[in-house]
Amino acid sequence: MAACRAQPPTSEQAWLEAAQTFIQETLCPAGKEQSKELTRSVIDCVKETWLSQGENQDLTLPFSYSFVSVQNLKTHQRLPCCSHLSWSQSAYQAWTRGGGPGDGVLPREQLILLGTLVDLLGELEQECKSGSLYVRDNTGTLDCELIDLDLSWLGHLFLFPSWSYLPSAKRNSLGEGHLELWGTPVPVFPLTVSPGPLIPIPVLYPEKASYLLRYRKKSSIKEINLAGKLVHLSALIITQNKRYFIMTLGELAQAGSQVSIIVQIPAQMVWHRVLRPGRAYVLTKLQITKTRIHRSCIWTTIPSSTLMPLRPGYVQELELDLEFSKADLKPLPRPTGSKDSRGQEGLVRASKVLHYLGTVTGVLHESAGLYILDGQLILCLAYQKTHGLRRVIRPGVCLELRDVHLLQAVGGATTKPVLALCLHGTIRLQGFSCLKPLTLPSSKVYGASLYEQLVWKCQLGLPLYLWASKTLEDLIYKLCPHVLRCHQFLKQPSPGKPSLGLQLLAPSWDVLIPPGSPIRHAYSEILEEPHNCPLQKYTPLQTPYSFPTILALAEEGQHRAWATFDPKALLPLPEASHLTSCQLNRRLAWSWVCLPSCVFQPAQVLLGVLVASSHKGCLELRDLRGSLPCIPLTESSQPLIDPNLIGCLVRVEKFQLVVEREVRSTFPSWEELGMASFIQKKQARVYVQFYLADALILPVPRPTFGSEPSQSASSCPEGLHLGQSRLFLVSHKEALMKRNFCLLPGDSSQPAKPTLSFHVSGTWLCATQRKEGSGWSPPESLAVESKDQKVFLIFLGSSVRWFPFLYPNQVYRLVAPGPSTPVFETEGSSGTSRRPLELADCESCLTVQEEWTLELGSSQDIPNVLEIPRALPESSLAQLLSDNSPNSLVSFSAEILSRILCEPPLALRRIKPGNAGAIKTGVKLTVALEMDDCEYPPHLDIYIEDPQLPPQIGLLPGARVLFSRLEKRISRSNIVYCCFRSSTSVQVLSFPPETKASAPLPHIYLAELLQGDRPPFQATTSCHIVYVLSLQILWVCAHCTSICPQGKCSRQDSSCPSQRAISQANIRLLVEDGTAEATVICRNHLVARALGLSPSEWSSILQHARVPGRVALQFTGLGAQTESASKTHEPLTLLLRTLCTGPFVLRPIKLSFALERRPTDISPREPSRLQQFQCGELPLLTRVNPRLRLVCLSLQEPELPNPPQASAASS
């Protein structure tokens, strides 16, 4: 405090001289000489107050204290402090103990403060009075708060013996510093006591005043004096152009008539600080006025009206010159049922109105007007405009609340009861706090105007307001300060420019705000009986939604994904019981979970800044806590192609959170699937998918964090006005993968290593254009005119961030900031310096620099260019499934049916360095081709291996994808498949549906499979089993698949670690349906269905087959003998042979099947053959089609037709 006051003088003479100087400069009226009377009165006042302690009899003057002016406090006192001239040290210590432990108590300074108590700031007009109080001296004016005020104090000079000063905080949005005046000020000069009126004041009491208000036309009285007891005082109403309050007076002796008075004269606003409910007052010169809303009459003050306490003998009741009966003296009915109020149907709970006296123990949210009372209640001041009082409220402040609403169990994550004040109630300060103000974060200090708008414009009820306040705080936690500053997020809305915080909450207002919410009017809220306000009734709120952090959402997705990871559910019985250890672990190695936004309770709203990652080459949503890869799509299956959306804020309510799970496991067999100890490693990849139609995209007022790198043109001022650009049309984009690049000569400080990069081939559409203001100049002339200038662009390093925006048949503008040196016409130098390329079809090869930016070309940029085709070229089905042109590049769109980890085809296997026996794992996609001329789309396998691993996000079963430039391959068994290459690009066209109903297989005749080029790959048919061709039951080792007689591996060496055996079975049947015949192979559990055995019977047969380890039967034809690899005399063999030739097997069935010959099999079809049949004694020779080969998917007994109804007996 040394900066605030001079060093106190050490002698009485020096102290008196300093006091005289201070009084002359600070307290004497300007332009007048120093008054000895003023000096003597001030010193006597200080001395008397100082000696009132009782502990300072030795010192008649406070030599340790120095005088302080208002200007010195405002200029030099930077920390909160207090001064108590009349307190002893023990009294101060007792006072500080009331603040509790810690160092938060206001420090005591030895300062003497004097000033004039006024209710007008500066020399303003009387109309500018607002009810605020100030301490004024010659150096300035300072806001103050006083617990008890007497109107006679205004305009008089006081010594303030006990006071606190709280300077303005830099981050505080509530104004300058202020004084808190403890106790009663000591007048420097004795206050003049009013002797009272010479004759009693004629007054009316509320009963007759109400009658006069009702029958005002019958009386000539236009102005009255009113006396009564104050029974109610409203809040001080603050509107844009005026302030007012309403007070209600009642009878003195007993409850009876009440009359309301509206006070709206600016000079009388200070009355609101003086009035105390329960005390009696006299108001003079009242007139009648009409309210705006109800158009009803009410008494009002005029500028010459006065307020005084009611004292016996000062008043005399006025006799009216009107006759009236007792019925006329009934209380005047108060306004009821505002016509503008909407229904209350949805409100189910009523609040309680009560009086409460409590102490503030915490500050929840200063700007939102939320505090903690007595550690148990929440106090909400948002429904009153009490900005002046809020600066005082902090822990330790004692408050009296009158007519406050108590709301319990409001919901919306609020567990404590809430006390909330409407305009009908009042809040009064009963005691200041001895604690220093809390240092609050910006999120709880800024944005008072925004929270006012939630209450006064958006008309939010209390439960929804509490939730909105908490939600805005969560949003600030997510986005500030790196995305934008807190005051920008909570800035005051302006016409046409709503606050960013409101824009994020507003999309759900129509759903959250009930249609019965009452419209708020101040007059109605104060005067209506029964009382009606937004706090009167309420509905407990279920939290509508929340804005989790990106990190929290990703962690929640992973938690749910691993909580639902169950190997037994992924591989259900009986399928799993026939899989080897390798097959089991391969099937479990990759799985995925799609969590639609509707599964989260409460609903989760995705919010983040859209950024482009140069490390992953994908789009991400980011906040302060983390980032999440994302795939945004338009409804027309188009990707996001506008780079200008980088840095925008994205809000999405409907989305899909995808978790791809990868597991490394060593399950020996299906019996151990429930044992988690066999899982060696788990990892997950989380990302989100959404459609732009479901997203709200908002620009933020400044560049966001995470822009990699800065996309501004230049850091220098003149660089902002310099730059060049060139338009180009993308013809193809290659895969994003790690590639090798040559180092420049002399750049050998770092070893060469593969770099994440991609290539784009395209065509320049015009020459270089220069920056002109906010636009671009006409294209410059080229040295060599060329209609088609092909270019090969290399993106690596930070420029990889443009990968998600570049797509074929789109026009882009490549922008290079900085000086005017040509950068786009350099042919080959920048590209070949890092990667020597021989590009016969391209005239230039260019490496995109890190500081270059990308913009989407507009139609105005290319007026002379022919219409650009938007459809991407795709290969025909004939080209895909032909045996010519292997190793060619093909493009097509398809729906992904399945995705598994597998070993790549033999032609794709690569040996790891240093491990000759190892084979890298790849990804196999099975897709259904989308061909317009094909009713039954064929299925095709696509393989992905290093360096294209891991695959691009979004390649999920059920997704529609456009594959460009895949390499078409033909296996040794003449099966067509495709492989990813460096030239391959992928574009997701649509996401997997949240609910997908499986379409039933078509029901056909077998002969239909012989007709047409593209029969259905899977179908159902009703047929008859003619006979069994073969049957085989095996018990094999789960690890090495060797035969296991008696359940033990038959390998001679001990290299097989497994002690598990699994059963495998297959049966081949000959079926026909009257149109054609086919051989059908059934495997594993379907063998039991084919043999017509129950699960227990089939299990018994498998256990008997466990002893030899292999049972095989071969039937040569209908009625022919059995050829068996097993001993034919064994009981099991005899049983199976009898069963296979019996009527329980040779029966009608309903068969669901798949073609054994895949649609991608391009091997020559088996021709028809001549076959001789015997018809009686006549042999017939005819040409017979080859038998169809089918794989059984399911086998069911046919549905028996309903028996015909018996005909009615003839009469």
- In angstroms, the Cα distances linking 353 to 276, 337, 422, 534, 690 are 19, 19, 10, 13, 48
**pLDDT tens readout for residues 824-846:** 875 544 444 444 444 436 667 88
* DSSP H or E run through 510: helix 509-512
Write phi, then psi, for 369 (nearest 5 degrees). Answer: 70, 40
- Confidence tier at 52 by pLDDT (50, 70, 90): confident
pLDDT digits 0-9 by tens, 592-620: 999 999 999 888 999 999 999 988 889 99
Supply the pLDDT for residue 518.
61
Q: Is the bond preceding residue 950 a cis peptide, omega within 30 degrees?
A: yes
Rounded Cα distance, 1138 and 715, in Å? 90
- Given a contact cutoff of 8 angstroms between Cβ atoms, the answer to whether 1002 and 964 are in contact is no
Tokens of 946: 């290093």
Q: Write out the two tokens for 206.
A: 């509320």
**What φ, ψ does residue 279 adopt, rounded to 5°?**
-95, 160
Q: Is the pLDDT of residue 942 over 90?
A: yes
What is residue 577's predicted lDDT score, i.e. its pLDDT? 87
* Cβ-count burial 730-743 (b if 16+ within 10 Å, e if not): bebbbbbbebebee
CA separation for the pair 475, 624 (Å, rounded): 10
Q: Where are the alpha helices (DSSP H) in 871-998?
A: 877-880
Work out the pLDDT band at 4, boundaries 50, 70, 90.
low
pLDDT tens, 462-480? Answer: 999 999 989 888 888 888 8
- Asked whether the beta carbons of 105 and 99 are under 8 A apart, the reply is yes
Segment 908-919 mean pLDDT: 42
Question: In the structure, what pLDDT confidence band is assigned to residue 459 with cuts at 50, 70 and 90?
Answer: confident
| CA-derived radius of gyration, the chain | 45
Residue 745 has a pLDDT of 54
Find how far residue 408's CA is from the centre of its chain: 28
pLDDT digits (tens, 9 = 90+) for 759-786: 999 888 888 888 887 788 888 765 555 5
Q: Is the per-residue pLDDT at 865 higher than 50?
A: yes
Tell which wins on pLDDT, 347 or 803: 803
Phi then psi for residue 489, to 5 deg, are -65, -35
Q: Tell me what the mean pLDDT of segment 1114-1131 comes to.
A: 62
Nearest of 1026, 1050, 1056 to residue 1036 by alpha carbon: 1050
Cα distance between residue 420 and residue 810, in whole Å: 58
pLDDT exceeds 80 at position 195: no
Q: Is 90 exceeded by the pLDDT of residue 502?
A: no
pLDDT band for position 56 (50/70/90)? low
Alpha helices in 300-447 (DSSP H): 387-390
Q: Is 137 helix (H, G, I), strand (E, B) or coil?
A: strand
Beta-ladder partners of 1137: none
CA torsion, points 97, 98, 99, 105, in degrees to nearest 10?
-50
Mean of pLDDT over the chain: 82
Give the CA angle between residues 533, 492, 509 to the nearest 5°: 50
E strands, 33-132, in order: 66-68, 81-84, 111-118
Highest mean predicted confidence (pLDDT) among 403-412, 993-1002, 1127-1136: 403-412
Place of tokens 């998600």: 804
* pLDDT at residue 347 is higher than 60: no
CA distance 736 to 213: 85
- Give the integer Cα–Cα distance in Å for 11 and 387: 45
